[in-house]
Chain A
Amino acid sequence: MILRLAGVSKRFGAVVVADKIDLDVARGEALGIIGANGAGKSSLFNLITGVVTPDAGTVSLGGRDVTKVSLRNRCVAGIGRSFQIPRPFESLTVFENLLVASEYGREHGHRGANELCGSILERTGLAAQANTLAGKLTLLNRKRLEMARALATQPDIVLLDEIAGGLTEAECHELVAFIRQLNQEGVTIVWIEHVVHALLSVVSRLVVLEFGRKIADGEPHAVMNDPEVRRSYLGIDDEVAA
Chain B
Amino acid sequence: MDYLNTIVQGVLLGGLYALYAAGLSLIFGVMRLINLAHGDLIVLAAFVLLAMVSALGLPLPVALLILLPFAFALGWGLQRFLLNRTLGDDILLPLLVTFGLQILIQNGLLVAFSADSRKLSLGALETQSVNLLGLSVGLVPLITFAVAVVVLGALSYIFYGTGLGRRLRATSDSTEVVQLMGVNPRVIFAIAMGISFVVLTIAAFFMGVRSNFDPSVGPARLLYAFEAVVIGGLGSLWGTLAGGIILGVAQAIGARINPEWQILAGHLVFLVFIIVRPRGLFPKQ
Chain A: residues with CB nearer than 8 A to chain B?
Answer: 49, 51, 70-72, 75-76, 80-81, 83, 87, 89-92, 96-97, 99-101, 103-106, 108-109, 135, 149, 152-153
Contacts and interface: CB of A to CB of B under 8 A. Distances in A.
B166 interface: yes
B181 interface: yes
A75 B172 contact: no
Contacts, number: 71
B177 interface: yes
B12 to A, nearest CB: 32
Given A71-B176, A103-B163, A89 B182 contact: no
B285 A70 contact: no
A104 B182 contact: yes
A71 B170 contact: no
Interface residues on B, range: 10 to 19
A153 B181 contact: yes
A87 B182 contact: no
15 contacts: A49-B180, A51-B176, A51-B180, A72-B179, A75-B182, A81-B180, A90-B173, A96-B170, A99-B163, A99-B166, A100-B167, A105-B182, A135-B285, A152-B181, A153-B180
A89 B176 contact: no
Given A89-B177, A91-B285, A101 B169 contact: no
Given A91-B285, A135-B285, A104 B172 contact: no
A142 to B, nearest CB: 13
Contacts of A83: 177
A89 B174 contact: yes
A108 B184 CA distance: 12
A89 B168 CA distance: 11
Contacts of A91: 169, 172-173, 284-285
A104 B173 contact: no
B182 A153 contact: yes
B183 interface: yes
B178 interface: yes
A17 B179 CA distance: 23
Given A89-B174, A91-B169, A108-B182, 13 more contacts: A51-B180, A72-B183, A87-B174, A87-B177, A89-B177, A92-B166, A92-B169, A100-B166, A100-B181, A103-B166, A103-B167, A149-B181, A152-B181
A87 B174 CA distance: 8
A108 B182 CA distance: 9
